[in-house]
Amino acid sequence: MSRSKHTDPRPIRAARRLRERFQARSTGDLTIRRRCAQRLKELGLTIERNNKVRQPRHSGPRILIQMTSPGFFHPATKKHISKLLRAVGPLAVYGLRSVELVRAPSGGLPALVFGRYQAPGRILLYQQPLPPWRLSGVLKREDARRLKRAGALIKLLPGSRATLIAWPDFYLKRFMLEEVLLHELGHHVLQHHKGKRPVRIVRTKDHEAFAAQFVARHKPLVRGGRSHP
């Protein structure tokens, strides 16, 4: 099969479609360009080349911010999210419609729910209570390990069967970016590049495993503050 822009590797194709979101599929097709050049040659005409090509700006997803409820806030700001999206690169951002900082739905959410991916192309990051958090009962071991790795300080309050969670300094913001947002981006990459269908294309277990691998792969890049080439 002859090579064309439609058979480019996914990272190259994603970057091009972000730059040329509203252009026709035939734009830049080398086959059409060669055909036109041959026709002009037959007519005795020449083409004056201009090597200065203006690079259009990348068109990324919208970042929407909803006002928080009293006693809640959004740990990550629009600036933080934009910086992370630039760092992970076009492959993760292509097809992503929005990253939304939102309140909990009217029905409420269970404790320790931080974000969610809604196909096709929406990532929801939920508001969080102002720390420290006082939760009834004892945390599940897996949840406690996850939060401790992110920098949270967890203490079981004696005699009350309640758990106190404190977030020193910037650790909650970093957790929302590096663990939650990157994880949901992993779900988006798997879902979008498999046909953009609004239903899960693999088992939940496999979806979660792919998202976890995506976090492990991209966290060093994000933490280092480098932009994707």
Domain membership of residue 47 (yes or no) is no
Domain count, the chain: 1
Within a domain: 24 = no
Q: Which long-range contacts (CB under 8 A, 24 or more apart) does 194-203 make?
A: 196/95, 196/119, 196/120, 197/119, 197/120, 198/119, 198/120, 199/119, 200/119
Residue 43: inside a domain? no
pLDDT digits (tens, 9 = 90+) for 131-168: 999 998 889 999 999 999 999 999 999 887 899 999 99
Q: Is 82 inside a domain boundary?
A: yes
Here the tokens at position 103 are 């309140």
- The answer to the question of residue 51 being in a domain is no
User: Does residue 13 sit within a domain?
Assistant: no
- Asked if residue 42 belongs to a domain, the reply is no
Residue 163 has which token pair? 């758990």
Q: 0.75 exceeded by the pTM?
A: no
Does residue 53 surpass a pLDDT of 50? no
pLDDT-derived band at 42, boundaries 50, 70, 90: confident
The boundaries of the domain holding residue 132 are 62-223
Does the residue 198 lie in any domain? yes
